[in-house]
Amino acid sequence: DAMVIQNPRYQVTQFGKPVTLSCSQTLNHNVMYWYQQKSSQAPKLLFHYYDKDFNNEADTPDNFQSRRPNTSFCFLDIRSPGLGDAAMYLCATTPSERQTQYFGPGTRLLVL
């Protein structure tokens, strides 16, 4: 089945230790998104790619970076995680028709 895959599902890191979360998709969608979701809150958009065109949200901290080496893969890099970065990180995709978003299962990040 075509889908959005996120690895790992759970990630534990230490305060200040760089961490990378990965997302892959078999849907061949043009657009990929990264969201941060804290407990009992709506997903907060960090950035998105339209093909290779990177779009950063104005309030996304510099600590967060992203890479999209090809259509299928997208990475979220957190350079120096703080305790406040503990959250669920969701990857989503959209075809160029700009309608439904397809979400991965998420990676729950714990910062010790």
Partner 1 sequence: AQSVTQLDSQVPVFEEAPVELRCNYSSSVSVYLFWYVQYPNQGLQLLLKYLSGSTLVKGINGFEAEFNKSQTSFHLRKPSVHISDTAEYFCAVSDRGGSYIPTFGRGTSLIVHP
Interface residues with partner 1 (CB under 8 A) are 4, 6, 31, 40-43, 45, 48, 88, 90, 92, 94, 98-106, 108
Whichever of 75 and 103 has its CB closer to partner 1, that residue is: 103
94 touches 33 (CB < 8 A): yes
* Residue 18 C-beta: closest distance to partner 1, Å: 24
29 touches 102 (CB < 8 A): yes
* Residue 111 C-beta: closest distance to partner 1, Å: 17
Whichever of 16 and 102 has its CB closer to partner 1, that residue is: 102
Residue 31 CA to residue 101 CA, distance in Å, equals 9
Residue 89 CA to residue 35 CA, distance in Å, equals 6
> For residue 52, what is the DSSP state?
T
Whichever of 15 and 101 has its CB closer to partner 1, that residue is: 101
In DSSP terms, 88 is beta-bridged to 37, 108
* Residue 37 C-beta: closest distance to partner 1, Å: 9
Query: Which two structure tokens, joined as six digits, stand for 24?
Result: 């892959």
* Residue 99 C-beta: closest distance to partner 1, Å: 7
